Amino acid sequence: MTITIYHNPDCATSRNALAMIRQSGEEPQIIEYLKTPPTHEKLIALLAAMNMPPRALLRQKGTPYAELGLDNPDLSDAHILDAMLAHPILINRPIVETPKGVVLARPSEAVLDVLPNPNLGPFTKEDGEVINAGRASAG
């Protein structure tokens, strides 16, 4: 089974999602998307798989979002895609792709929706928050 994470190691949410994937028993393909951005075709495919318009994947904080005028609601999807490809920091992360689907793992526990084994048991995020990622049945 192939799991791919479009990862930024400087992002706690991305690190938490990666740790959850590993705790589930999988070792994903890690693509540091700032160093190796997705192609135009791959970005379109990821958006389609998430049923998400390009604007919904735009990251604002810590990016050239404002300087590029990306807050203009009249900008086309093509313009937004071009901006994300030219400035990969504009792509929100982490994106996780598995045979079960593709998610923007924000919050990081959203990755559980596409993992083949989401039964992690208790998982402690970097900030100390405990996620009960078990699927225990009610008794």
Separation between Cα atoms, residue 96 and residue 35, nearest integer Å = 17
pLDDT at residue number 1: 65
What's the CATH superfamily of 1-33+93-139? Glutaredoxin (3.40.30.10)
Give the start-to-end residue ranges of the domains of the chain: 1-33+93-139
- The question of whether 11 is a catalytic residue gets the answer yes
pLDDT at residue number 134: 63
Q: What is the mean pLDDT of each run of 10 residues along the chain (139 residues)?
A: 93 96 95 97 97 97 96 96 97 97 96 91 89 53
Reported as a single tens digit per residue, the pLDDT across 36-70 is 999 999 999 999 999 999 999 999 999 999 999 99
pLDDT at residue number 120: 83
CB environment 88-99: b (16+ within 10 A), e (fewer): bbbbbbbbbbbe
Q: Which of 11, 102, 115, 133 is catalytic?
A: 11
pLDDT at residue number 111: 96
